[in-house]
Amino acid sequence: MQLSRSCVGIPACSRCVEWILRSGNDAFLELPEIKLKRKQLCAHHFAGDQFKDSRRNYLTSTALPMSYNLLDKPQTTLDVKPSTVST
């Protein structure tokens, strides 16, 4: 599968659900196939061994994106100051 603009479309095959689950975007599961075909994942979501070539232009036929897990992202904290309530 050749990459276009460093992005690749979600395949319409048995791997489709696995790609969606690994993308971290569960909303894709609700899309009809015609709209799902328009969605893409960036090439950065794939490990180097998922490509046929060192230039990262072609994915292997069994390529799967890396799992996206929000828990692996650094936690952001909000600086919330307690409000003053006058009684």
Dump pLDDT digits (tens) for 10-35: 887 778 888 888 988 889 889 988 89
Average pLDDT for residues 30-42, to the nearest whole number? 88
Which tens digits make up the pLDDT trace of 54-67?
A: 888 899 999 999 98
What pLDDT is attached to residue 45? 87
Tell me what the pLDDT averaged over the chain comes to.
76
CA-closest candidate to residue 6, choices 59, 57, 55: 57
Return contacts of 49-56, CB within 8 angstroms, 24+ apart: 56/3
Question: Minimal CA–CA distance to 25: which of 65, 77, 75?
Answer: 65
Q: Which residue type is seen at 58? A: Y
